[in-house]
Amino acid sequence: MGATNESHKRKRHNAENAIKLFDTRTSNDETATPNKTTLHPQADKADTELKALKTIDIISFNARAEERFVALLATLVKSSENNEITIIEAIRECAFELDISTETAKRYLLKHTARHARFQIQNGKVRLRQ
């Protein structure tokens, strides 16, 4: 049980590091929230726009969220130990970070693991297609 707990801690640490790597915000703005993990170079603006789109134009929201899903998933995979993450980790982390449902994250993952898509699933793990 101790080894399993360590494995979970290591996976969580890797996911957190991947999200930090994806954080490209370099604002010196005094109003910026300290230690806020963001997902886009213009994160505050992008997050505000994405939240607004969710209530105003769900079709545009889904398109934008899907683009960000692909970028985040690529970052998570590239920053993991073996360049792969579990399916559940991909769904959970992306759903949380993008404020989408886990069902939406599953749909995006299924779409982006199609035969000619950017990602593939092997042995329950998501990796970039070779």
Domain ranges of the chain: 2-19+42-128
The predicted pLDDT at position 112 comes to: 97
What mean pLDDT do residues 10-28 have?
Answer: 50
2-19+42-128 CATH choice from 3.30.2410, 1.10.10, 1.10.3470, 3.90.1070: 1.10.10
Lowest mean pLDDT among 10-14, 42-46, 67-71, 80-84: 42-46
Q: What is the pLDDT of residues 51-109, one digit of tens each?
A: 777 777 778 888 889 999 999 999 999 999 999 999 999 999 999 999 899 999 999 99
113, HSE (Cβ side, Cα atoms, 13 Å): 17
Rounded to two decimals, what is the model's pTM?
0.63
User: C-alpha distances in angstroms, 108 versus 28, 64, 74?
Assistant: 34, 12, 13
Q: Are 77 and 14 in contact (CB under 8 A)?
A: no
What proportion of the chain, given as a percentage, has pLDDT over 90?
48
